[in-house]
């Protein structure tokens, strides 16, 4: 039976994205709806007022899960609103909804945000159109392996509920290609450059910060950071923490602010905008037949609102090459599926057009995933693989992944190192299934910088998921590998605090493969000796697990079990637990070890120990920062 509100309805798609995947999935849903002549609006969830939810719209949520089951930053306000106790069980009565989640099943709390959002919407009286969809990064086709069949079920369910939304039926896609001829932006080319030349600025960093702000304001890319950097940094130290024998390159990097003063607390993180390979940028510009010296303005096309409320007509034009360098990731990120779909319209060679159409089709989904995401093909490589394609610059600006800052845990205390920030950076490299060597853009770039170059690096500072502990709070730190980075700041700050009064104990468990990648060895050992912050005589301790120094592997959880009494003593004193490092199995293994320790030392059951840890989490005394 048709919903009696259907005449007033249109489809609303809200997404909460951290890395861009949820935004891409939401925009794809929007395009598929438009092709079915279904009226639709696609918005980031922080652009929507949750008070409007009960107004009878049909709402599709596309949400990612970050860290250990956390909501993306853009969703935090929306989620707080939904959790209000004064919302009744009938608040969303009559509202139809569907939830699609994006997650990674290697994480302990797989697709946790989608699951809890689905439950909360049901609790508030909304009706699920279809069972929630759960996209998995571990699937052979990535999240699209679940999105395609879920989307098919969604259109059928929507048609049953409100056929007026689909004048041509749920599966009849419009045959004309009018939608493909209109990118969301338009570019104006200028004969003369902007008046804000480099000579207008007293320093290089002022000029760079203004250029970044201007480029980002014009760009259609979604950025998690503010448009203008918080400050600019210059490197003052770059040294290796590992030996050549260990097969890893981990660097200790120190930076000094050259613009505004640095403000952060231990446990925070910083985002740095990497420089791109100049040769790659030049090759991209040449491949696309662009003039690097021309000045451009990038404007939203009429009726497009993706750029927000910025008055783009007031933004001065900028050099095309600068715009590409600062906003378009041409030689690191892989393009999305939609990129191949649009490319097919501009391929003049028939065999290339056929291959691109196949890649963009449901049948070619798995092959595209193997060719593109698994191999981490870059935009430049894809364009070079299809030489007959000549895409208009408007489409390239819209579809090339934005050049995003990379996040790093801060490994220093601003109280100990005023106006400085220290980082512990592992230089990322890997081999693809077809034996192609890949390197992380930002880590490789940073490792190749030296203080003498005087390179200015734009930086944005953010609150981390590891809150700064009060001096009187005992802490248990677990940080194998580069997970130790934030705890270096914790330890050096507590050592400073001890000079002006008593502080609570610090117990730290570190893990590495061998002595060749024992990061900050002298630092930890110095604080363990002579009654230091990590000394056993002060109730703390430092314990290192070498996983490959002996026949049987030893990890941090094994060292924790060896020190179960010390851990239980600190927990009994109200200690907080901090875990940082790889998201693979470590966080769940650490939690299991803690459950065993609590059960063994207190005599409680395993189930009661689990509840004890959940109570710690609710009390804000169990913190995890992990990354894949």
pLDDT mean for each 10 residues of the chain (628 residues): 48 89 90 85 92 88 86 90 92 94 85 95 95 90 88 90 77 56 85 57 75 87 73 95 90 92 93 96 97 92 53 76 95 92 94 95 88 93 97 94 93 96 96 91 96 93 93 97 97 96 96 94 96 94 93 94 96 96 86 96 93 93 87
In terms of Cα–Cα distance, which of 519, 407, 395 is closest to 464? Answer: 407
Q: Which residue has the tokens 């922080």?
A: 46
Domain boundary among the residues 165, 195, 227 is at 165
Residue 17 known to bind ligand: yes
Residue 18 known to bind ligand: yes
**Whether residues 53 and 117 fall in one domain:** yes
In terms of Cα–Cα distance, which of 317, 343, 103, 287 is closest to 195? Answer: 317
In the chain, what percentage of residues exceed pLDDT 90? 68
- Rounded Cα distance between 183 and 244, Å, is 49
Residue 107 known to bind ligand: yes
Token code pair at residue 474: 């005992």
**Whether residues 310 and 393 fall in one domain:** no
Task: Please indicate, yes or no, if residue 539 is contained in any of the structural domains.
Answer: yes
Which domain does 592 fall in, by range? 475-627
Token code pair at residue 215: 């480029």
CA distances from 459 to 267, 405, 421 (A): 16, 8, 10
- Rounded Cα distance between 396 and 401, Å, is 9
Q: What pLDDT is stored for residue 198 in this prediction?
A: 54
Residue 103 known to bind ligand: yes
Residue 555 known to bind ligand: yes
Residue 578 known to bind ligand: no
| Paired strand residues for 128 | 97
Task: Please indicate, yes or no, if residue 250 is contained in any of the structural domains.
Answer: yes
Beta strand pairing status for 96-103 and 58-64? parallel
- Rounded Cα distance between 244 and 435, Å, is 22
**Whether residues 121 and 67 fall in one domain:** yes
Q: Which residue has the tokens 């490299």?
A: 429
- Rounded Cα distance between 506 and 244, Å, is 32
Q: What pLDDT is stored for residue 1 in this prediction?
A: 37
Q: What pLDDT is stored for residue 4 in this prediction?
A: 43
Residue 246 known to bind ligand: no
Residue 358 known to bind ligand: no
In terms of Cα–Cα distance, which of 16, 22, 42, 15 is closest to 135? Answer: 22
Residue 83 known to bind ligand: no
Residue 109 known to bind ligand: yes
Residue 406 known to bind ligand: yes
Q: What pLDDT is stored for residue 20 in this prediction?
A: 80
Residue 556 known to bind ligand: yes
Task: Please indicate, yes or no, if residue 368 is contained in any of the structural domains.
Answer: yes
DSSP 127-167: EESSPPEEEETTSTTTTHHHHHHHHHHHHHHHHHH-GGG-T
Q: Which residue has the tokens 């502080």?
A: 503
* Count of domains for the chain: 4
**Whether residues 139 and 239 fall in one domain:** no
Q: What pLDDT is stored for residue 580 in this prediction?
A: 95
**Whether residues 201 and 160 fall in one domain:** no
Q: Residue 372 in 3-state DSSP?
A: coil
- Starting at the edge strand that comes first in sequence, how are the strands of the sheet with 185-190 ordered? 185-190, 295-300, 318-319
- Rounded Cα distance between 600 and 587, Å, is 20
**Whether residues 194 and 291 fall in one domain:** yes
Q: What pLDDT is stored for residue 5 in this prediction?
A: 43
Residue 8 known to bind ligand: no
CATH of the domain at 134: 3.40.50.360
Q: Residue 193 in 3-state DSSP?
A: coil
Token code pair at residue 58: 């049909």
Find the helix packing angle between 320-327 and 204-218, rounded to 10°.
80
Q: Which residue has the tokens 């709390």?
A: 109
Token code pair at residue 140: 């052979």
Task: Please indicate, yes or no, if residue 10 is contained in any of the structural domains.
Answer: yes
360 within 8 A of 337, measured Cβ to Cβ: yes
Domain boundary among the residues 296, 327, 358 is at 327
Residue 260 known to bind ligand: no
Residue 195 known to bind ligand: no
Residue 297 known to bind ligand: no
Residue 443 known to bind ligand: yes
**Whether residues 558 and 598 fall in one domain:** yes
**Whether residues 122 and 237 fall in one domain:** no
Residue 246 dihedral angles phi and psi, to the nearest 5°: -80, -10
Domain boundary among the residues 382, 399, 416 is at 399
488 within 8 A of 211, measured Cβ to Cβ: no
CA 224 to chain centre: 9
Token code pair at residue 329: 């990731």
Check: pTM over 0.75? Answer yes or no.
yes
* CB neighbours of residue 378 within 10 Å: 23
What end-to-end distance do the CA atoms of the chain give, in Å? 47
Residue 202 known to bind ligand: no
- Rounded Cα distance between 497 and 472, Å, is 10
**Whether residues 529 and 573 fall in one domain:** yes
Residue 106 known to bind ligand: yes
Cα torsion for 331, 334, 336, 337, to the nearest 10°?
110
CA 154, 157, 158, 159 dihedral sign is positive
Residue 482 known to bind ligand: yes
Residue 557 known to bind ligand: yes
Task: Please indicate, yes or no, if residue 257 is contained in any of the structural domains.
Answer: yes
Q: Residue 487 in 3-state DSSP?
A: helix
Q: Which residue has the tokens 């930086």?
A: 459
**Whether residues 279 and 383 fall in one domain:** no
Q: Which residue has the tokens 């448009």?
A: 227
Non-local (6+) Cβ contacts of 541 within 8 A are 507, 508, 528, 534, 535, 563, 566
Task: Please indicate, yes or no, if residue 160 is contained in any of the structural domains.
Answer: yes
- Rounded Cα distance between 44 and 308, Å, is 11
Q: What pLDDT is stored for residue 37 in this prediction?
A: 82
Residue 407 known to bind ligand: yes
Q: Residue 543 in 3-state DSSP?
A: strand
Find the helix packing angle between 278-287 and 320-327, rounded to 10°.
120
Task: Please indicate, yes or no, if residue 432 is contained in any of the structural domains.
Answer: no
305 within 8 A of 185, measured Cβ to Cβ: no
**Whether residues 129 and 246 fall in one domain:** no
**Whether residues 193 and 155 fall in one domain:** no
570 within 8 A of 507, measured Cβ to Cβ: yes
Residue 102 known to bind ligand: yes
Residue 348 known to bind ligand: no
Residue 589 known to bind ligand: yes
Residue 88 known to bind ligand: no
Q: What pLDDT is stored for residue 6 in this prediction?
A: 42
Residue 432 known to bind ligand: no
Residue 553 known to bind ligand: yes
Task: Please indicate, yes or no, if residue 419 is contained in any of the structural domains.
Answer: no
């Amino acid at each position: 039976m048709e919903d009696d509100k259907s005449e007033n309805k249109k489809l609303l798609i809200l997404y909460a994205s951290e890395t861009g995947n949820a935004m891409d999935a939401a925009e794809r849903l929007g395009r598929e709806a438009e092709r079915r002549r279904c009226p639709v609006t696609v918005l980031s969830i922080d652009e929507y007022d949750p008070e409007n939810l009960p107004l009878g719209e049909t709402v599709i949520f596309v949400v990612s899960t970050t860290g250990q089951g956390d909501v993306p930053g853009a969703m935090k306000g929306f989620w707080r609103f939904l959790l209000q106790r004064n919302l009744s069980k009938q608040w969303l009565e009559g509202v139809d909804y569907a939830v699609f989640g994006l997650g990674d099943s290697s994480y302990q709390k797989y697709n946790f945000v989608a699951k809890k959002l689905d439950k909360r919407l049901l609790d508030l009286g909304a009706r699920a159109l279809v069972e929630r969809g759960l996209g998995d990064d571990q699937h052979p086709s990535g999240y699209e392996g679940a999105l395609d069949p879920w989307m098919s079920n969604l259109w059928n369910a929507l048609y049953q509920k409100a056929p007026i939304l689909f004048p041509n039926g749920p599966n009849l896609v419009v045959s004309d290609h009018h939608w493909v001829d209109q990118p969301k932006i338009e570019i104006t080319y200028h004969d003369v450059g902007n008046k804000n030349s480099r000579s207008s600025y007293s320093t290089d960093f002022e000029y760079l910060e203004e250029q970044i702000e201007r480029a980002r304001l014009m760009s259609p890319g979604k950025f998690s950071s503010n448009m203008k950097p918080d400050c600019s940094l210059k490197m003052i130290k770059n040294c290796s923490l590992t030996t050549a024998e260990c097969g890893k390159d981990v660097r200790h990097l120190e930076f000094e602010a050259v613009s505004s003063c640095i403000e952060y607390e231990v446990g925070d993180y910083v985002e740095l905008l990497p420089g791109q390979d100049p040769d790659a940028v030049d090759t991209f510009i040449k491949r696309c037949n662009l003039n690097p010296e021309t000045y451009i303005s990038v404007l939203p096309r009429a009726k497009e609102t993706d750029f927000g409320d910025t008055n783009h007509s007031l933004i001065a034009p900028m050099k095309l090459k600068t715009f590409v360098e600062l906003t378009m990731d041409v030689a690191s990120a892989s393009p999305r599926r939609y990129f191949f779909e649009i490319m097919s319209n501009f391929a003049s060679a028939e065999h290339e057009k056929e291959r691109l159409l196949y890649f963009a089709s449901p049948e070619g989904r798995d092959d595209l995933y193997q060719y593109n995401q698994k191999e981490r093909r870059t935009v430049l490589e894809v364009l070079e693989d299809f030489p007959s394609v000549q895409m208009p610059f408007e489409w390239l600006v819209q579809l090339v992944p934005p050049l995003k800052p990379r996040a790093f845990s801060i490994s220093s205390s601003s109280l100990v190192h005023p106006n400085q920030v220290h980082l512990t950076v592992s230089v990322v490299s890997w081999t693809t299934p077809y034996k192609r060597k890949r390197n992380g853009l930002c880590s490789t770039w940073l490792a190749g910088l030296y203080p003498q170059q005087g390179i200015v690096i734009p930086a944005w500072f953010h609150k981390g998921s590891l809150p700064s502990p009060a001096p009187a709070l005992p802490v248990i730190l677990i940080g194998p590998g580069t997970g130790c980075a934030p705890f270096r700041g914790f330890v050096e700050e507590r050592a400073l605090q001890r000079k002006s009064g008593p502080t609570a104990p610090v117990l730290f468990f570190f893990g590495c493969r061998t002595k060749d990648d024992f990061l900050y060895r002298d630092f930890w050992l110095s604080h363990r000796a002579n009654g230091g912050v990590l000394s056993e005589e002060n109730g703390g301790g430092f314990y290192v697990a070498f996983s490959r120094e002996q026949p049987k592997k030893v990890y941090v959880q094994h060292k924790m079990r060896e020190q179960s009494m010390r851990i239980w003593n600190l927990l009994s004193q109200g200690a907080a637990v901090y875990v940082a490092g790889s998201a693979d199995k470590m966080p769940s293994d650490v939690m299991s070890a803690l459950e065993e320790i609590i059960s063994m030392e207190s005599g409680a059951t395993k189930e009661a120990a689990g509840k004890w840890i959940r109570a710690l989490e609710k009390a804000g005394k169990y913190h995890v920062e992990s990354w894949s």
